[in-house]
Amino acid sequence: MISVIVTVYNIEKFLGPCIKSILGSTYQDLEVILVDDGSRDSSGEICDQFAQADGRVKVIHKVNAGVSQARNTGLEAATGDYITFVDGDDVIHPNTLAVLMDALAGGDYDVSMVYGIQVPDGGQDKFIANKELGLSASRKVVSQSEMIRGLFGTSVDEFQYIVVWNKLYKSHLAQDLRFKDTGSEDLEWSLQMSLRMNKAVCVEEEMYYWIQHQSSMTHQEINHTQVDRMNSYVLCLNDIPQDKTDYRAWCLVKMYKVLLHTRYNARNTRFDDQVKSISKSIYKNTIGEYMASVKAGTMKYGLLCFYHLPWVYNRFMDRQVARLKKSRNA
């Protein structure tokens, strides 16, 4: 049985389609755990209505404490041999769970994954109309090293490795693994899971639909969550064993890139001083290992140049942003 953990908070407009997409899966051996994180709209009532209509649905109402604690509540309630997560304002293809399960059972794998794709509200319909989607898609084996390299990557596919909602996990691996309240809770949890796994299998098909709407946190201007993301990489560095030098170097490079980018976005905002303070602390505590472990000289000294000469980085980013805006308007 698959335990599907769905976190819910003030998403009444999107919740119904999300739950329907899960219950309408071609794989039916499910328990759907809806964790209502103190919603102030009708989301909690919608959860209860689905539970009354389908015995596979369990509802937990709790005081609002954020997505990390809501997911932890779901993990503690899960009884399935396999665990997956779905955000309550997203939608999955009817074949998603069946494909994930078939891939995981197809070899000595601990995790299976599909691709997620950002779509506007309603944009998932063109994908869902394809009843055969994913059934014959190609698959690739992903080693622990490749998974962790992906977590700290810089490509547009980086989020595919970081997020937890496009994957199926063997539940025993998550038995004592809990989310932390950080600026990137998926990243730190995914790193911990990757350090426990041996191999994963990726089904190369877009089957999870990340619905884009303007109230989403990812569409807001710089905020506390984005600022805290810098410290998420510090937590990740602390999680990686000292003898995993490649893993630690990848984390350090990504951490400095995030630090620079956050400092750029915080300019002329109320977060400016806070971000500068955090970046100085991170630099002080990690520069020694950074210099010793990062082998790519051009990248290493380039990032240090940007750190010590922020006006150079700011000018570089301003040009990049202007170029991107120009291409979008062309």
Q: What is the pLDDT of residue 123?
A: 80
This prediction has a pTM of 0.91
269: Cβ–Cβ under 8 A, 6 or more apart, which residues?
221, 222
Residue in the structure block whose two tokens are 């810089």: 154
CA dihedral 131, 15, 67, 92 (to 10 degrees): 0
> Token pair of 193, please?
């899971």
Q: What is the pLDDT of residue 291?
A: 93
Task: Please write the tens of the pLDDT for every residue from 200-236.
Answer: 999 999 999 998 875 544 445 688 888 888 999 999 9
Backbone angles phi, psi at 55, to 5 degrees: -65, -10
Q: Which residues of the chain have pLDDT under 50?
A: 216-219
Contact (Cβ atoms closer than 8 angstroms) between residue 8 and residue 15: yes
DSSP 165: T
Q: Which of 67, 85, 77, 88 is nearest to 20 (CA)?
A: 88
Q: What is the pLDDT of residue 109?
A: 97
Q: What is the pLDDT of residue 217?
A: 45
> Token pair of 89, please?
């304002």
Q: What is the pLDDT of residue 298?
A: 77
